[in-house]
Structure 1
Amino acid sequence: MIHDDEPQATRRQAGAGESSRASRGWWDRNADEYQTEHGAFLGDDRFIWGPEGLDEAEAGLLGRSPEGLDVLEIGAGAAQCARWLKARGARPVALDLSHRQLQHALRIGADFPLVEADAGALPFADGSFDLACSAYGALPFVADPVRVMREVHRVLRPGGRWVFSVTHPIRWAFPDEPGPEGLSVAASYFDRTPYVEQDETGRAVYVEHHRTLGDRVREVAAAGFRLVDLVEPEWPEWNTQEWGGWSPLRGHLIPGTAIFVCDRD
């Protein structure tokens, strides 16, 4: 039975303001459940790029040791990645839109700056960082990803690197189900209409934006970055967990995560 007070899923347009408000509210309401459900997999000080479990310690996508570098984590959640960076000698700053997520960062233990801010308006001076990273943070939920990437470009020093992971765009053509029902194409890959959950008044309480793989590449270029790698992690045999629509069944057949490695010349 569907109750009237449960959010209703739809596909409709959602602008920058509505998307930002929805994301802040959703993550503030759901941070506790998210950390309870996924905290053990993410670890307190691991750097995991996505549900496949690809670990930065093995992948080396940041390109160099973070020791002595200023690093910005965007959409940091409980700042597990920033904590991993700090343990390796970096000077991290963890930024998130959600106050409650950052409270979890404090709970776990964060001896580095935590900043509550919108990724589209980074509160830092030009050239403040050597590296920037985001593991499923911010970009899937913003209406204007180029604005975010231009902000990242602005706060990076020349020679800096920007690495971010998002849901692989091909997943938008399939139902978000971990079982066999999630293996048949159900929608157009080319439909960029956002996925929106809204309350009984029509107010968005969750928004996620779809971009094709080509869209993401063009966004990177429009922000002034040079794309040096696009990683599509394979599902490893050791990973038997289901995480929403991610599962071993689907992961062995279609990609679930796309990681973009970009340099600022």
Structure 2
Amino acid sequence: MSIQWYPGHMVKARRQIQADLKLIDVVVELADARIPQSSRNPDFAEIHHKPTVLAITKEDLADPKCTGLWMDFWRKKKERVVVLNVPSGRGISQLKNMIKTAVPNLRRPPRVLVVGVPNVGKSSLINRLVGRGSAKTGAKPGVTRGKQWINAGGFRLLDTPGILWPKFEEQETARKLAVVNAIRDEVVDVQELAHWLLGYLTENYWLAVSERYNLSSPANDLLQEIGKARGCLLPGGVINTEQAAALVLNDFRTGKLGRITLELPEEGN
């Protein structure tokens, strides 16, 4: 399975970001705590000449020990970085302070560009900063489409659509993005994706898998075993592996498998 997903609205949004950069004082780049490096769009490197704050979202779904390792890694690189729990509001005050201190001599409200891959939590963060439902949110990647300037207390926020990049050099990166739902399920083979995820979990989080699906030991075909355990059946008692795959992916995405991180700083960084 080769994964590529770069629809037309992302091409348009990338051009719009380039055009809007001259208006921007500070960039807030969001990354998913479960895949902190893979969820950073390399095309955003061109905007890093602006003061940038790296905001790590979905930390409540990530392995806290791994998040700590990533924080150490970024701090050694002198990045402005904050871990957020957007639903609870944890880290929001720290983010606001980082934005202000990034442009200490500015005498007007900073104009802030919020960027990230699809489904990383940009709109949810903006709604938290504003305190009301200003930006559309949704479980499907690519809900936010147009440019939106939003007043948020002491800031002017520019929300943008989630943007990927034209070609994934490493399919491992694409798989990780698909697993966290930054790439639509409709453009991937969910069974292959679930097999890949289960392979990683077997090596690194087997206890979480065994407890969730009541399995005693890793099997050659975990999807078959999980489908059997969860009653994912077709007529005639055949295991519905596509349903089992969707179940596994949903369990991971919603935290039902526990707090899991899919990459560490030493992996290619």
* TM-score, length basis structure 2: 0.36
Normalized per residue, which structure has more helix? 2
TM-score, structure 1 as length reference: 0.37
Q: Which has the larger radius of gyration?
A: 2
